């Protein structure tokens, strides 16, 4: 499959506040049990949002993300043997900042820093 241009915004906020923030988005029809892998330059994948329209066979999309050597990989997988699923995704990432993982295992209250 050919490369697709899916970068929607480069630095959607003031570069002095959050330099290097990028947003990627696309709509894809992924055949059942198939995998779509996206790779792009990044130091941190901030968020992945994926929403689809599964058919009656109950298809759904699961995703994983990782960053190695400043290259991000986001993988979407259609998880059943039905006809496939059409879904859209939005990925927020940063190419200049490394943001620590936020793994919450107990009840907690967080205060965003501005």
> What local confidence, expressed as pLDDT, does residue 103 receive?
78
> What local confidence, expressed as pLDDT, does residue 96 receive?
83
CB-based contacts of 57, cutoff 8 Å, min separation 6: 32, 80, 81, 82, 83
Q: Stretch 72-97: mean pLDDT, rounded?
A: 84
Summarize pLDDT for 4-46 with one digit per residue, the tens: 666 666 655 666 666 688 888 888 888 878 899 999 999 999 9
Query: Does the pLDDT at position 77 exceed 60?
Result: yes
Q: Stretch 98-102: mean pLDDT, rounded?
A: 80
Interatomic CA distance for residues 93 and 76, integer angstroms? 16
> What local confidence, expressed as pLDDT, does residue 6 receive?
67
* 3-state class percentages of the chain: helix first, strand second, coil last, to nearest 5: 0, 50, 50
Nearest to 88 by CA among 17, 23, 26: 26
Topology annotation, domain 7-94: Immunoglobulin-like (2.60.40)
Domain ranges of the chain: 7-94
Q: Give the single-character DSSP code of 107.
A: -
């Amino acid at each position: 499959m050919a490369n697709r241009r899916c970068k929607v915004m480069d630095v959607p906020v003031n570069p002095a506040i959050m330099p290097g923030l990028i947003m990627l988005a696309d709509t894809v029809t992924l055949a059942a049990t198939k995998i779509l892998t996206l790779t792009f330059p990044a130091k941190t994948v901030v968020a992945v949002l994926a929403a689809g329209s599964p058919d009656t066979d109950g298809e759904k999309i699961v995703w994983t993300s990782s960053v190695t050597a400043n290259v991000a990989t986001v993988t979407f997988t259609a998880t059943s043997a039905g006809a496939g699923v059409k879904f859209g995704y939005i990925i927020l990432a940063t190419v200049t900042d490394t943001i620590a993982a936020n793994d919450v295992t107990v009840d907690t209250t967080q205060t965003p820093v501005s």
